[in-house]
Structure formats: C-alpha cells, structure tokens
C-alpha cells in the first residue's frame, strides 16, 4: 500500500517537476516577464508541435512574415496568442477560434524593432499553454520608421479596401487578405495611434467562427491568412477610430 501510494505520488510529480525545470529554449531575458503578463499562472509547455515560421533575418523590419501552425497538436484550441519579446509593443494578435471549422493556423506580417524571439502560445481545452518559438534577426527600426502608407497620395481614399481571396486546400480553404490601413502605432512623432484592433471571421449566415484582437505591432496594410472548413466566409474589422470594414470570400 505504501509503495503504491509513493508510486502514485511520484508519477504525479514527475510532469510537474519537468515543467518547473523547463527553461526557455531561446534564453530570452523577457520570457519570465511575458509569461507572467500574457499567460498568467496556467501551465506552460514548450512544444515543437506549435510551429512558428519566420525568416531568420528580416530583410524589411517593417514587414516580417510570421506563420503559426498548431494543427499538429491534434486537439481543440481555444486561443492563440502571438507576441515578439523585444518589441516596444510586444503583442501581435490574440486569436480565439469559436468553431471546429477554423483551423489553429494563422499568418500575419509584423514590425520588429530589433532582433527578437517571436512566440505563439496555444491554449488547449485542458488549460495548458503550448508554446512555440523562433528567433528573427533584424537590422531594426521597424516599429519607429516613418509610415510608407502615409507618404502615398490618396491613401485616405483607399482606407479599408480589402484585397484577397479563398484558395482551396483539400476540404479546407486558405483565406488571404490585405487591408489598406496605416496601422499607426504611436511611436512616430506627431502621429497618434490609428490601427485595426478587432476582427471577426463569420460564415455566410453571419455566425461567428473566430474573434481576434489585433495590435499595432502588425505591419502597415496588414496581411492576414486563416484556414477554414467550408466555402463562404466574411471578415469584419474595426479600427480604434470606430471605422468598420467588411469583406466576403
């Protein structure tokens, strides 16, 4: 009886101890801070099944493509949170799938101010954050560079225009879009924050499939990609000035 009890206690403690001793694979000085701030006290596991794909070096620090793919987890996902450790505005996107029709996959372009780890934390139904990481090297300055969009004639007339489409991939479809918007982050002198802060992916009948909170770390003229099951979808967006945009795919 005693040995059985000890064996049970030991089998319970092993995963807890392993998690407690697990260290950041990228050795970021900001990991502990962001873990507490972003993820709270929930259990965290570094998980290779959460793939964060980015170029090893950012050719253009204002437009760095990031792809997050957690389909290999093979479990229902309730939230995907993406951030860049060393950015002045670290949060990128907070993605909440509300339907099994939405895959745990997204792609977005971001700004980076300097070389930084980029993280994706994926929350599964058992309450565990599965974290994938990669490092992006960069010359820097992407967050504080002057706006390219605002230097173009007539950008105000194009505000909110959406270009994109739906691309079949077996039973799923990849949705890709580009929205005309300066995504001002407030870090350039004389230009206040002006960025898209909410989005919702809906089916043809208007039923929500996923909700998103977006942050001004996302690049100008933001590019977004998702994967869904089914044919038709709509994306509704709203910026922090109350402008609303809508596009059908």
Span 216-246, pLDDT tens digits: 999 999 999 999 987 668 899 999 999 999 9
Q: Over the stretch 49-84, which tens digit does the pLDDT of each residue have? A: 999 999 999 999 999 999 999 999 999 999 999 999
Q: Is the residue at 13 inside a domain?
A: no
Q: Is the residue at 17 inside a domain?
A: no
Q: Is the residue at 10 inside a domain?
A: no
Percentage of the chain lying above the pLDDT 90 cut: 80
Q: Is the residue at 2 inside a domain?
A: no
How many domains is the chain partitioned into structurally? 1
For 102, the domain range is 25-248
Instruction: Count each helix (H run) and each strand (E run) in the chain, helices first.
Output: 3, 16
**What is the C-alpha separation between 65 and 108, in angstroms, rounded?**
6
With a cut of 70, say whether residue 170 has pLDDT above it.
Answer: yes
DSSP assignment letter at 156? H
Which sign, positive or negative, has the C-alpha torsion 106, 210, 157, 89?
A: negative
What is the CATH classification number for the domain harbouring 156? 2.60.40.2470
Q: Is the residue at 136 inside a domain?
A: yes
Q: What residue has token string 């204002």?
A: 62
Q: Is the residue at 121 inside a domain?
A: yes
Q: Name the residue among 52, 48, 47 with its Cα closest to residue 68.
A: 52
């Amino acid at each position: 009886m005693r040995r059985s009890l000890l064996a049970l206690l030991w089998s319970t403690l092993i995963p807890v101890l392993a998690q407690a001793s697990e260290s950041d694979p990228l050795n970021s000085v900001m990991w502990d801070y962001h873990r507490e701030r972003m993820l709270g006290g929930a259990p965290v596991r570094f998980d290779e099944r959460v793939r964060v794909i980015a170029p090893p070096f950012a050719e253009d620090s204002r437009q760095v493509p990031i792809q997050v793919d957690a389909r290999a987890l093979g479990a229902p996902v309730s939230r995907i949170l993406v951030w860049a450790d060393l950015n002045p505005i670290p949060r990128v996107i907070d993605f909440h799938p509300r339907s099994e029709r939405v895959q745990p996959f997204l792609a977005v372009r971001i700004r980076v101010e300097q070389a930084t780890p980029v993280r994706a934390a994926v929350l599964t139904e058992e309450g565990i954050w599965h974290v994938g990481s990669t490092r992006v090297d960069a010359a820097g300055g992407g967050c504080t560079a002057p706006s390219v969009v605002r230097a173009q004639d007539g950008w105000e007339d194009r505000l909110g225009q959406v270009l994109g489409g739906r691309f079949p991939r077996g039973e799923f479809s990849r949705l890709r879009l580009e929205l005309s918007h300066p995504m001002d982050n407030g870090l350039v002198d004389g230009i206040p924050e002006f960025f898209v802060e909410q989005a919702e992916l809906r089916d043809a009948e208007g039923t929500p499939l996923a909700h998103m909170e977006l942050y001004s770390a996302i690049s100008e003229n933001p590019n977004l990609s998702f994967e869904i099951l089914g044919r038709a979808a709509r994306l509704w967006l709203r910026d922090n000035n109350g402008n609303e945009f809508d596009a059908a795919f």
